């Protein structure tokens, strides 16, 4: 039998993190002690009160049945209360909030709701790969908006050609940003709203890292900006805020018509998030937030050790105000891939090459702060021997 995959699957680039896992495992199998700054998967445990909440919920047989496609009413209510406490944004839970099986799922599905073949998504680059791959799977076309240091790693909206803007249906944004760790201010978001209104573009803002911030900085929500709810949707995840990556729980909020269309896609391709996980999500959102404060303290300590160490070896990383990533230029004369491969093969250190997130990421590597301070210090010592 001749089995041939679809053209859309052929168009997908290799998924970056799967390839990183393969290379890491290959080197590890040769006996090398690996220090992994690659994939952004928290090494800290889920807070105890959230674990206890799901244990209790699983014992209740009512949670074993099919969940609601849009999410439990109680979970969506909790999301709305959290949004008002955190950002001062009021939401109508039945129409402006939807539960997701992790924000990645919602981001991947939203192009299916709005793109026809040949329609354009405005996609930042470098960026989380799913903005582009979700567009491909919906038979859309990605127009890449370069994120460059000279612009503070914000897209230059004025550089988008008029004909592209006219064809665009979606714009993906992500602040605090993965991989660059850049942040956006109100003035930038106001420009985004004006652009979106002018060209009838739906803004899809990925705010997965809004709670991972340092030095007293508090990232804002896109939904705080006047007019944002008229043209946009914002995706959140409990994965990074509460160390729940494996639990697969997130949510999206915003324009009711956009939320409804995303829900229509989801009702045809999944059966909703496990109710017991949503009950644990309520405990996360409504419980004591000291666990988040402590987590940020730990990441900030690691950030400071890593940034200081990278500077000791002659590198000049960005100092992140938020996210748990450090975006670091590679040594002169080396590409992102060359430096990453050298660190892996000669020092047993895994980092993510910046060009894996898109061509404008060339010249950088990304470190995830998901390694203990002791192992971070050890990694610095290995780099000193390698680079000096």
3-state secondary structure of 143: strand
Q: At a CB cut-off of 8 Å and minimum separation 6, what does 79 contact? A: 91, 93, 97, 236, 251, 253, 285
Q: Note the pLDDT tens digit of each residue in 101-143.
A: 999 999 999 999 999 999 999 999 999 999 999 999 999 999 9
Least confident segment among 38-42, 77-81, 165-169, 249-253? 38-42
> Is the pLDDT at 5 greater than 80, yes or no?
yes
Q: In this model, does residue 46 exceed pLDDT 80?
A: yes
Percentage with pLDDT > 70 across the chain: 98
Distance from first CA to last CA of the chain, Å, rounded? 56
| pLDDT, position 388 | 63
- Provide mean pLDDT across the span 134-162: 97
Which strands form 364-368's sheet, in the order they lie side by side? Answer: 325-329, 364-368, 352-353
- Confidence grade of residue 15 (pLDDT, cut at 50, 70, 90): low
pLDDT of residue 17: 65
- pLDDT tens for 354-376 read 999 999 999 999 999 999 999 99
Q: What angle do CA 106, 176, 297 make, to 5 degrees?
A: 115
User: How large is the average pLDDT for residues 231-240?
Assistant: 97
- What phi and psi values does residue 274 have, to the nearest 5 degrees? -50, 130
Mean pLDDT in residue range 210-221: 98
Phi, psi of 271 (to 5 degrees): -115, 20
**CA-based nearest residue to 174, from 120, 90, 265, 236:** 236
Contact 375, 34 (CB under 8 A): no
pLDDT band at 14 (very low <50, low <70, confident <90, very high): confident
Tell me the per-residue pLDDT of 291-329, one tens digit each, with 9 for 90 and over. Answer: 999 999 999 999 999 999 999 999 999 899 999 999 999
Q: What is the pTM (predicted TM-score) of this model?
A: 0.95
pLDDT at 278 over 80: yes
Q: Is pLDDT at 209 greater than 90 in this prediction?
A: yes
The sign of the CA dihedral 281, 78, 127, 315 is negative
Position 383 scores a pLDDT of 94
> 116 in helix, strand or coil?
coil
Domains of the chain: 7-45+290-387 (3.90.1150.10), 49-286 (3.40.640.10)
Q: Can you read off the two tokens belonging to residue 122?
A: 């405005």
């Amino acid at each position: 039998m001749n089995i041939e995959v679809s053209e859309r699957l052929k168009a997908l680039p290799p998924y970056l993190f799967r390839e990183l896992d393969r290379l890491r495992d290959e080197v590890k199998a040769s006996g090398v002690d690996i220090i992994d700054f690659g994939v952004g998967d928290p090494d800290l445990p889920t807070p105890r009160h959230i674990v206890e909440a799901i244990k209790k919920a699983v014992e209740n047989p009512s949670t074993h049945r099919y969940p609601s496609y849009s999410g439990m009413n109680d979970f969506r209510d909790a999301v709305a209360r959290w949004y008002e406490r955190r950002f001062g944004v009021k939401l109508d839970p039945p129409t402006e909030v939807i539960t997701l099986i992790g924000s990645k799922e919602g981001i991947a599905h939203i192009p299916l709701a709005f793109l026809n073949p040949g329609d354009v998504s405005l996609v930042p680059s470098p960026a989380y790969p799913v903005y582009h791959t979700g567009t491909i799977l919906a038979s859309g076309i990605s127009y890449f908006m370069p994120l460059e240091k000279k612009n503070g790693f914000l897209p230059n909206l004025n550089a988008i050609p008029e004909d592209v803007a006219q064809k665009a249906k979606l714009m993906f944004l992500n602040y605090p940003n993965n991989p660059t760790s850049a942040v956006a201010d109100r003035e930038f978001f106001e420009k985004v709203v004006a652009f979106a209104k002018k060209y009838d573009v739906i803004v899809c803002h990925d705010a997965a890292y809004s709670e991972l911030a340092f030095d007293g900085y508090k990232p804002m929500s896109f939904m705080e900006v006047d007019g944002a709810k008229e043209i946009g949707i914002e995706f959140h995840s409990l994965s990074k805020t509460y160390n729940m990556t494996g639990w697969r729980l997130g949510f999206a909020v915003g324009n009711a018509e956009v939320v409804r269309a995303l829900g229509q896609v989801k009702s045809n391709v999944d059966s909703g998030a496990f109710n017991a996980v949503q009950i644990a999500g309520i405990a996360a959102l409504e419980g004591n937030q000291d666990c988040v404060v402590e987590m940020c303290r730990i990441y900030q300590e690691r950030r400071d050790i890593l940034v200081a160490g990278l500077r000791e070896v002659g590198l000049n990383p960005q100092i992140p105000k938020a996210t748990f990533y450090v975006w670091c230029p590679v040594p002169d004369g080396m590409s992102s891939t060359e430096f990453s491969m050298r660190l892996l093969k000669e020092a047993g250190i895994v980092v993510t090459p910046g060009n894996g997130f898109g061509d404008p990421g060339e010249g950088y590597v990304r470190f995830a702060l998901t390694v203990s301070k002791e192992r971070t210090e050890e990694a610095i010592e290995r780099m000193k021997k390698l680079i000096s």
